[in-house]
């Protein structure tokens, strides 16, 4: 079975699946999708034009996207019990963390960091409007301040000084959260201490599987900050 990943190196959505594929040891190839996501060829396979996206022949449509769904699919398919335990309670914690991240936390992450990263913001958002720079910065700051609440939920409910899903090592939800926290280096508010130790704990447990692709995001963030 061949497994091909389309990815964008500076993106934390993509970092998630890049780390997961390395941590799981699944044989795969990787291709930089920069400038290709809106091509007929790419959209013929991935109509949402989103990365990360995988191509694998035995998937019902041959290709799929959404970082968490990709990890769930591949973990289910290959029985990756350590990364995605089948125990219903532990799995519930992991699924809940991932859905909370993509549904509630990530929109605040993108609204606070994308304007500074120079990434496109979503239609209808203040950053994507004709409003003045002061209004846009006020909206960005508001999103940055609103991150405190979900961060505290991750700290006290999901992470609890350990890993999400209460295992001995990182789960797919830890990969998703640690990768996402990388972008918060763009904000004025320092990453809380618990979150700094958490990312370090996930990185230590995963080793190069985390550090190697994370270097692309960290390098990009450092470059953008050096230009500010």
Ligand X SMILES: N[C@@H](CCC(=O)N[C@@H](CS)C(=O)NCC(=O)O)C(=O)O
Q: Name the residues that contact ligand X, by CB under 6 A.
A: 8, 11, 13, 37-38, 49-52, 65-67, 102
Q: Are 198 and 178 in contact (CB under 8 A)?
A: yes
Closest contact distance (angstroms) between CB of 46 and ligand X is 9
- The secondary element (H helix, E strand) that includes residue 5 is strand 3-7
Closest contact distance (angstroms) between CB of 49 and ligand X is 4
Cα(223)–Cα(217) distance, rounded to whole angstroms? Answer: 10
For the chain, report the end-to-end CA distance as a whole number of angstroms: 45
Burial of 119 (0-12, 13-18, 19+ CB in 10 A): middle
Nearer to ligand X among residue 138 and residue 223 (C-beta): 223
Closest contact distance (angstroms) between CB of 207 and ligand X is 23
Closest contact distance (angstroms) between CB of 22 and ligand X is 17
Nearer to ligand X among residue 88 and residue 124 (C-beta): 124
Closest contact distance (angstroms) between CB of 143 and ligand X is 16
Cα(50)–Cα(4) distance, rounded to whole angstroms? Answer: 14
Nearer to ligand X among residue 50 and residue 145 (C-beta): 50
Nearer to ligand X among residue 66 and residue 155 (C-beta): 66
Nearer to ligand X among residue 73 and residue 194 (C-beta): 73
CA angle 210, 145, 17 (to 5 degrees): 20
């Amino acid at each position: 079975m061949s497994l091909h990943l389309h990815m964008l190196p500076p993106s934390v959505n993509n970092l998630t699946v890049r780390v997961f594929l390395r941590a799981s040891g699944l044989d795969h190839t990787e291709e930089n999708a920069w400038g290709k996501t809106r091509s007929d060829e790419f959209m013929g396979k991935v109509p949402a034009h989103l990365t990360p996206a995988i191509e694998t022949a035995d998937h019902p449509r041959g290709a799929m996207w959404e970082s968490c769904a990709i990890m769930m699919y591949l973990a289910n398919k290959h029985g990756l019990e350590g990364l995605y335990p089948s125990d219903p309670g532990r799995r519930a914690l992991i699924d809940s963390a991932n859905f909370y991240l993509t549904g509630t936390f990530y929109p605040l992450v993108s609204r606070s960091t994308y304007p500074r990263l120079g990434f496109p913001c979503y239609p209808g958002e203040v950053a994507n409007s004709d409003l003045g720079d002061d209004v846009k910065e006020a909206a960005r700051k508001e999103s940055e301040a609103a991150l405190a609440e979900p961060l505290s939920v991750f700290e006290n409910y999901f992470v609890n000084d350990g890993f999400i899903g209460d295992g001995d090592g990182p789960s797919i939800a830890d990969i998703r959260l640690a990768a996402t926290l990388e972008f918060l280096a763009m904000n004025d508010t320092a990453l809380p201490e618990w979150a700094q130790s958490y990312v370090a704990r996930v990185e230590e447990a995963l080793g190069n599987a985390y550090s190697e692709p994370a270097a692309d995001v960290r390098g990009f963030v450092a470059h953008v900050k050096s230009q500010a």
